[in-house]
Structure 1
Amino acid sequence: MQTSRKPIARTRGETSIANVWKKHKEKYLLLLPFSVIFVVFTVIPVMTSIVISFTSFNMLELPKFVGFGNYINLIVNDDIFLIAVKNTLFFALITGPVSYIMCFVFSWLINELTPKVRAVMTLVFYAPSISGNAYLIWKLIFSSDMYGYANAWLLRLGFISEPILWFDKKEYVFPILILVQLWLSLGVSFLAFIAGLQNVDRTLYEAGQIDGIRNRWQELWFITLPSMKPQLLFGAVMQITSSLSVSQISIELAGFPSVEYAGHTILTHLHDYGFIRYEMGYASAIATVLFFIMVFTNIIVQKALRRVGV
């Protein structure tokens, strides 16, 4: 009897899979191009990087297996990497939550405007994140001579007697980088929040007024936020990723390397070993560490958001 049941179960399973494919084949076909691109350009490179991280590879010779040697050197012998980890985590701890709140607050305020004004304001706030010359503005503001706007204003107001060398002093580098990152942070998450606010069912607000909601804060907490769960989770992932992957800001403004490594991050350390020294095994180990930090941080944040009802 048991032998006769196995083919029946397998037949049912095959029939079930066939029915699902027949019912949803258009959806799977639409997903296929993205799935192929995702596997080829994301999954395979990540897995390849993890494998290379266990080797010594300079792109001229065949990789040599070194086991956990690269990771041991990172943690035990590479003091600069530890500085980069500290800077990156501290940077993310400040800019991540602040930029996330900024994205939602500005999108919420802009959503209350008329459609034409909303479109213009969205462009104004989003433009810095896609501008290729954004760093030039901040280089001009924090220029180390008297012609820099910050020095000119401070000299004119009498707060300083000589120009400040903004990027030559350790105590100024990190705050400036945080300021610039926050200015650039209204990007994809900002647009996602505006889209989420536009898609909230307006009848929910009418029903809420009948059920006892009396002000905008109650509307926000009981209706708007629960209706935007997908966008809020997506925004959290994007803001965490961007705050942990800062490098270009530091390189363009503070130089490479920055003074006393004040602006050194994990990604600039990766840039050093990957694109300057061509120690690809060591660079892959750095990339793998950053990858798992991002994954771990995203898991924690998403669980925290779900606990508060998002």
Structure 2
Amino acid sequence: MLMAPYFLIFTTFTVVPVVMSLLLSFTHYNMLEPPTWAGWSNYIRLLVQDDVFLIAVKNTILFAAITGPISYMACFLFAWLINELPPRLRAFLTLVLYAPSISGNVLLIWQLLFSSDSYGYANSFLMSWGFILEPVQWLQDPRYMLGILIIVQLWLSLGTSFLAFIAGLQNVDRTMYEAGAIDGIRNRWQELWFITLPAMRPQLMFGAVIQISTAFAVAEVSVNLLGFPSVDYAGHTIVTHLMDFGTIRFELGYASSIATVLFSMMLLTNLLTQKLLRKVGE
């Protein structure tokens, strides 16, 4: 009974929309007329005819493959190091590292840093030291756009997963380390692999889900930094493609097929991550 309100809200605002999106992905729907059955035509168009979607898939996979694992390991590494500090210093550093992920105007810093004129910090520094002779169009040149997007996302990545790891490290039973020393554990790395990580499996799984979702669902950073759409679609992702068809063109059936493909990619990645995390401590 106590969990019934949560399940009601979860079913209404998560399960039902996901099921409706899956059903709408097989229709033509523009919000003004009733949906009409389209079969597999949306998926055929998506995978065979939509060249921009293929660019978005490539960018998203590359982005997720780099930012996902690196940000996940960085979250745990910083949490592990901070956990060894005195309580007051630990609380201060936790706030400092977590702050960028909740700051509303944080992207303004990166816009100033990579501004395309000579007053941008990156251009000003490189020109003053003679590395370049004229300003670089950092946020308009397709050669640099995805790399900048990855750097910014890594800087923003110390968010919820970082806090979950801090909490998990704080709750590890200290007597387990004493028992481990009796059983033959001799250094900190063995403690980490055989005691700390197995004791933190719930937090590790939660952090993995959050990081995977963040990596695959990147859109806001790309839109605010690189524009919408970005030059030559160099910063285009699956979510920005979904925004294009769902909120601008109002082709909701086609947008639902994009959402379904994205959901499938995230689900498969989560299942693979769960399988890998089960081997921790073996």
Q: Structure 2 length normalisation: TM-score?
A: 0.97
Matched residue, 2:48: 76
Q: 1:163 aligns with which of 123, 132, 135?
A: 135
Aligned length: 282
Matched residue, 2:100: 128
Matched residue, 1:199: 171
Q: 1:67 aligns with which of 34, 39, 61?
A: 39
Q: Secondary structure at the match of 2:172?
A: coil
CA distance in 2, matches of 1:221, 1:66: 51
Gaps of 5+ in 2: none
Structure of greater Rg: 1
Q: 2:58 aligns with which of 59, 72, 86?
A: 86
Q: Which has the higher helix share?
A: 1
CA distance in 2, matches of 1:272, 1:132: 24
CA contact (8 A) 2:194 2:281 kept: no
Matched residue, 1:178: 150
Q: Deviations over 1:259-300 (max 9, x none)?
A: 111110000000000111111111111011101111111111
CA distance in 1, matches of 2:29, 2:116: 41
The reply to whether residue 261 of structure 1 matches residue 233 of structure 2 is yes
Matched residue, 2:243: 271
The reply to whether residue 154 of structure 1 matches residue 126 of structure 2 is yes
Q: 1:52 aligns with which of 9, 24, 29?
A: 24
The reply to whether residue 290 of structure 1 matches residue 248 of structure 2 is no
CA distance in 2, matches of 1:212, 1:51: 56
CA contact (8 A) 2:76 2:162 kept: yes
1:205 Cα deviation after fit: 1.4
Q: Secondary structure at the match of 2:278?
A: helix
Matched residue, 1:22: none
1:214 Cα deviation after fit: 2.4
CA distance in 1, matches of 2:80, 2:169: 7
1:215 Cα deviation after fit: 2.0
Q: Secondary structure at the match of 2:2?
A: helix
Q: Structure 1 length normalisation: TM-score?
A: 0.89
1:207-226 aligned at under 5 Å gives the runs 207-226=179-198
Matched residue, 1:110: 82
Q: Secondary structure at the match of 1:172?
A: helix
CA distance in 1, matches of 2:281, 2:268: 20
Partner AA of 1:120 in structure 2: F
The sequence identity of aligned pairs, in percent, is 65
Q: 1:233 aligns with which of 178, 202, 205?
A: 205
CA distance in 2, matches of 1:56, 1:134: 39
CA contact (8 A) 2:25 2:255 kept: yes
1:16-27 aligned at under 5 Å gives the runs none
Q: Secondary structure at the match of 2:250?
A: coil
CA-based RMSD: 1.1
Q: Secondary structure at the match of 1:61?
A: coil
